[in-house]
A and B are shown apart, each in its own frame.
Chain A
Amino acid sequence: MVRLPYLTALTTLFSYGLLFAFGQMRDFFRKLLETDGSDFLRSVPVFAIQGYAPICLGLEDFYTRRLYLRIQDCFNRPIASAPDSWIDVVKRYSKDNNKTLHRTSETSHCINLGSYNYLGFAAADEYCTPHVIESLKKYSPSTCSARVDGGTTKLHAELEDLVARFVGKPAAILFGMGYATNSAIIPSLIGKGGLIISDSLNHNSIVNGARGSGATVRVFQHNSAAHLEEVLREQIAGGQPRTHRPWKKIIVIVEGIYSMEGELCKLPEIIAVCKKYKAYTYLDEAHSIGAIGKSGRGVCELLGVNTADVDIMMGTFTKSFGSCGGYIAASKEIIQHLKKICPAHFYATSMSPPAAQQVISAIKVILGEDGSSRGAKKLAQIRDNSNFFRSELHKMGFEVLGDNDSPVMPIMLYNPGKIPAFSRECLRRNVAVVTVAFPATPLLLARARICISAAHTREDLIKALEVISKVGDLVGIKYFPFEPQNAAPHNALKKLE
């Protein structure tokens, strides 16, 4: 968990306070000076004059204008290449203090520590790409139809079987987008009179799906099986609100790897609790499928959980498989039920056939069915890379969250001023990192997030570590200065070289 030092908390709060105060002051003076209201405060738009209520409410807009816009060059950076281990980040400039950014034709070649390219399938691949192009020629990019109409091709059927086999469940169903998988499936499984118990840090797609289902939603403390048990006991004993009827069913929703924390789910403990209380489990493996486990089968494999104990296994193809879409794997009955009522299956355009082919090929590589050992090498490489990078960051004195084996590692920044400083300085030294701040994280817990890929070579990682260490000194984010025995990260790096 995060150990926010007292002094840091104080300075961070102070910084936000300062930004807030100055922002308010600037708004005040602009209001005084600009009477025609043309460009003034995008929160008092022309609409207001015509008798329309503004699109944005004041404070939300304040955050955008006075905080976000100042550092918006750190986000949405366009790239001009595949999101591989190295990317070409397009340079942008601004003529109005960062309010609008313009693309140039120049790029800088950077190490990519941001994309979810865990197994390195993002770029053209010697096995996958030819197959994908072949499918593209055969099936075209789209079916222009939903799965229940004319949107089911042979590839879809093949991929459903393959995914089921890969994750270790009897059957599977596909969707063209991971987000929609969660947000359309949860309402198909549970409705009024049901209870969803969701981890407090679950992804927005789960939150939206739960909300859309009409079921009651309760939250348990992040990754705490003990608190989950407490909530379950309380809810089963109390029943539905007001009527106290027993709940129809209870679904507990967790993620395999939490993408903002880099933590693995404490799945064995949670499954044990769910079993004891007869709650169903829904596991979102968006970041873990393909990325962890000896043969890439995700948290269940890594933590030794029998997949039969997880009722619904969800995952996406946008990460490890370098494609798009999502799946649900479960028992035959559940999948058949979903195929009968899930709205996304009925109304959404089916997954693009070449993207389906990409997943098929990627899984075949992982399983070694392409006739090479590349898959096994990739899996070993991502684990080695992740553990190496994490331990080096620890040694340098950064505050790194997350568990071993997880390819996602957040580095805590805290101070709002350190967000752009870290991001820009890294970019200047040709390392592309992701920084995350409020509202994606709590206000005080801004962080940088590193995603390691199997495509990174050791030299890439060492170069990135050197840059991060240097920038870390510059920005002052080595919150846990090293203990003597591992005092010299640079020496360690040299030895490795």
Chain B
Amino acid sequence: MASGVLNRTAAALDWVSAAFDAPLARAVVFGIHIDGHLVVEMLLIVVILFQLSRKSYKPPKKPLTEKEVDDLCEEWVPEPLCPSITEEMQTEHPTLESAAAPHTVVDGKEVVNFASANYLGLIGHEKIVDSCISSLEKYGVGSCGPRGFYGTIDVHLDCESKISKFLGTPDSVLYSYGISTIFSVIPAFCKKGDIIVADEGVHWGVQNGLYLSRSTVVYFKHNDIKSLESTLEKLTRGNKRAEKVRRYIIIESVYQNSGQMAQLDDIVRLKEKYRFRLVLDESHSFGVLGNTGRGLAEHYGIPIEKIDIITAGMGNALATDGGFCTGSVRVVDHQRLSSSGYVFSASLPPYLASAAIAAVDYLEDNPSVLTTLKDNITLLHKGLSCVPGFEITSNPLSPIVFLKLKKSTGSQDRDLQLLQKIVNRVLHEDSVFLVTSKRSSLDKCRLPVGIRLFVSAGHSESDILKACGSLKRVTDLELA
């Protein structure tokens, strides 16, 4: 069959060539002997060129008339700016009537406070308040400008050098808001095409930074070294392109969403093996971990230079506000020109920088406060370990003690409602202020929700026992 077609085609071609050959026989143009098949080929080429030069077929485009656009605009109905309110979740939260110290007044009643990340118990500390007052009198409240435009006040520079001296890093840079630190730092260093390996349990600030960076983000299992290693291996093995782009690992030292602690020794080993840079958010470990409070690196006895970029919010252990990023001079200088939250926002109010200096001073002078904190954490762990229906998922050293439901109801919302009910009863019946790990619907973290207790060195033994007792009593009733 096929050969038949071929034969006939060959015959037809022969015939056409012969037909052309005849009149043009022995015609020679510029020394080239022209015979039939050349003519046929020329013709074919002309046809192909003609076809190519034609525009491909498109339905004729008729722009909409003004009238049609008017009609479309007329017909368009936008969704409302926000969905209509449903009553399912409370939006009113307990109102504090005094400082958020270990004992505070909530809605007119004195309570024991486990809701503030006041790890060192510095809220209301006299030295801190005094340094704030003298700063307020000298500098006023706000700085009225970004760092570039006369918003750099000498206390900012002092605070930056205090922090780097404390941590033993070459330089550091202050941000005016804790959460803006990490979400500005990530896009300042990670751009389109770069590779980021991040823990799946990172908090929203990190998630936002990852999103804004437009880099390729790969998540590994929450606090799972094996998963991290296989991710790194997969990304780099035989991948020539990966060698040319910047590569980062982004983790938290103590995860806000679970209280677990990163295994820095293994991570540093992996980072060096695969040549990734390490970005570490120390918001809940700076001033807490290590013998002198210098954070996760000190806890593991790892030289701080091994971590390329460290960020931390100062609204926790230091009991002030704002945040900092520290690292090599180059890392810091780069941020001063290209980190959006640093360049485009008014600088930290000077009294908050003074408070941070005073807080670091305090920590240097009183390292024993860390022992108190550790003892409190241990005590709380022991007390909570037998609360029915709950398990502790946080690290025994984490100042965030995280209680997870042993048996989830199956939906995060219903879990949260149940937890909230427990927490509300604990507050109203026993005057102990605890919080659930509430989630914004924009948060992509899928770790289980739970009850979070922020331990402070300012808590007394009886405060802690009271919290444990109350929680046990209420869960017995609620989960029975």
Contacts and interface: CB of A to CB of B under 8 A. Distances in A.
Contacts of B334: 55-56
Contacts of A189: 81-82
Given A117-B144, A205-B345, A358-B142, A154 B319 contact: no
A487 interface: no
B78 A249 contact: yes
B346 A178 contact: yes
Interface stretch (A14-22, A349-357, A390-398, A412-420): A349-357
Given A176-B321, A340-B91, A349-B313, A354 B100 contact: no
Given A140-B99, A205-B345, A177 B176 contact: yes
A233 B139 CA distance: 50
A84 B101 contact: no
Interface string B195-214: 00000000111001001100
A334 interface: yes
Interface in A182-220: 183-184, 187-189, 203-205, 208, 211-212
A144 B123 contact: yes
Given A212-B212, A324-B141, A336-B85, A142 B321 contact: yes
A328 to B, nearest CB: 12
A244 to B, nearest CB: 11
A179 B345 contact: yes
Contacts of B113: 150
Contact of B96 (A137, A152, A180, A336): A152
Interface string B1-16: 0000000000000000
A237 B64 contact: yes
B19 interface: no
Q: Most chain-B CB neighbours within 10 Å: which of A143, A233, A338, A434?
A: A143
Interface string B139-151: 1111111011111
Interface in A332-382: 333-334, 336-349, 352, 354-355, 358
A50 B276 CA distance: 11
Of residues A124, A316, A324, which shows the largest number of chain B Cβ atoms within 10 Å of its Cβ? A324
Given A137-B129, A347-B205, A348-B179, A333 B330 contact: no
Given A45-B330, A352-B349, A148 B72 contact: no
B97 A153 contact: yes
A71 interface: no
Contacts of B275: 50-52
A129 B133 CA distance: 10
Interface string B50-84: 00000000000000100011001100111111111
Contact of B69 (A122, A233, A317): A233
A122 B179 CA distance: 25
Given A79-B154, A278-B78, 14 more contacts: A53-B247, A117-B144, A122-B140, A133-B133, A142-B320, A157-B95, A233-B73, A237-B69, A246-B76, A319-B346, A337-B83, A346-B439, A347-B256, A354-B136
Interface of A: 42, 45, 50-56, 60, 64, 68, 75-84, 87, 89-90, 103, 112, 114-117, 121-125, 128-129, 132-133, 136-145, 147-154, 156-157, 176-180, 183-184, 187-189, 203-205, 208, 211-212, 232-233, 236-237, 246-251, 277-280, 311-312, 316-319, 321-324, 333-334, 336-349, 352, 354-355, 358, 432, 434
